[in-house]
A = this chain, B = another copy of it.
Amino acid sequence: MKGLSPVQQRFILHWGEMGARWGINRTVAQIHALLFLMARPLNAEEITEVLDVARSNVSNSIRELQNWGIIRLVHLPGDRRDHFESLKDVNEMFRIILNERKRRELDPTLRVIRECLDQPAKEEIDATTKERLEAMLGFFELAEKLFGQLDKVSTKNLIRAAKMGGGMFRVLGLTSKE
């Protein structure tokens, strides 16, 4: 990891590990971490050198990150090469990630469960199965709704809500676990 301080290395390595647990390729996560820390956009060649991975690997990983929408292609004046920079606003970044995960995980599951329950009556559906699937559906619909609401709230207000220190729900009389 040529040219990186120990702290930078530490963070990039950890981000790579975390990525793995999220079903995100290690190199992809590392590149993201690198771009996040850098003060200026890097080109693919630079990334290759710093992380010491193959050029092709960088190419594919970058495409993946662009699909997620959390890095951006920029052109520097007088330089023909593509340069890349990460979104800087962390809150915005995770907002995107969360929405993307919703789209890739929650939505398809909702669809499958609904289809399972919509079975044409001829295909007898076992009572227990039906009951369980309905409970599951209920949960996913709740999650979807909360997700949607959360996404409408600005970061600023989210912080305010958090600062209410457990109070947000209390104010609404919604706090105690029953």
Which A residues fall within an 8 A CB radius of B?
5-8, 10-11, 14, 18, 20-23, 36-39, 88-91, 94, 104-105, 108-109, 112-113, 115-116, 119, 123-126, 128-129, 132-133, 135-136, 138-139, 142-143, 145-146, 148-149, 152-154, 156-162, 166, 168-169, 171-172, 174-178
Shortest beta-carbon contacts, A-B, top 9: A39-B128, A157-B174, A154-B177, A90-B139, A145-B162, A14-B112, A154-B178, A90-B135, A21-B23
A11 and B169: CB pair below 8 A? no
From residue A131, how far is it (CB to closest CB) to chain B in Å? 9
A142 touches B158 (CB 8 A): yes
Please report whether the interface of chain A is mostly helix, strand, loop or mixed according to DSSP. Answer: helix
Give min CB distance, A152 to chain B, whole Å. Answer: 6
CB neighbours (8 Å) of A166 from chain B are: 148-149, 152
Give, as a whole number of angstroms, the nearest-CB distance from A6 to chain B.
6
- Interface hub of A37, A104, A123 (most chain B Cβ within 10 A): A37
Minimum CB–CB distance from A74 to chain B (whole Å) comes to: 16
Identify 9 residue pairs between A and B in the complex whose beta-carbon atoms are under 8 Å apart, listed by A's number.
A5-B126, A7-B116, A7-B119, A7-B125, A90-B138, A146-B162, A152-B169, A156-B178, A172-B172
